[in-house]
Amino acid sequence: APVEKTGAGGGIIAKDVLGNPIPAAQILVEVPGSRALVAGLGGEPTYLIVKEDHTLDSIGILDNCTHLGCTFPWNPNDQQFQCPCHGSRYAPDGTVVRGPAPLPLKIFHVAVIDNRILISPWTETDPRTGEKPWWV
Ligand code: FES
């Protein structure tokens, strides 16, 4: 499916696996602390975080391990993303807890506008490192 452009800094509307836009309301009813996987920029799997107040966290995280690119689940018991390929573990914000992953997970801006979820590139300072993002 063609990428839906919004004109807002290269952002796109979050979609489901079938390519249909996901209403924000559908994600926001999930259990607080949930990580919802959506198709984000370039169709790449992206985790959205449902906060305690049933709003979305303004940072989304790419489901792509910085070691060799595996996808990985969120482990709610350990409060970590845990890569099944070689055992890398990441904190809720995507920073590395245990290697071999060499870098923090890529992040995106997430915003809800009129029940749509807008995902756009993160190009400024990485708040986790205080440095320019490694992916820019
Ligand atoms: Fe995730 Fe190797 S690809 S640990």
Distance 27 CA to ligand 1 centre (A): 28
| Among protein residues, the one whose CA lies closest to atom 3 of ligand 1 | 68
Identify the CA nearest to 7 among candidates 110, 118, 109, 136.
118
Asked whether the bond before 127 is cis by omega within 30 degrees of 0, the reply is: no
Q: What is the pLDDT of residue 9?
A: 65
Given ligand 1 and candidates 62, 75, 86, 106, which is best to mutate, with the most ligand atoms within 8 Å of its CB?
86
Specify whether the CB–CB gap between 24 and 13 falls below 8 A.
no
Q: Give this prediction's pTM.
A: 0.90
Q: What is the ipTM of this complex?
A: 0.99
pLDDT tens by residue, the chain, 136 residues: 344 444 446 789 999 888 899 999 999 988 899 999 999 999 999 999 999 998 999 999 999 999 999 999 999 999 999 999 999 999 999 999 999 999 999 999 999 999 999 999 999 999 999 999 999 9
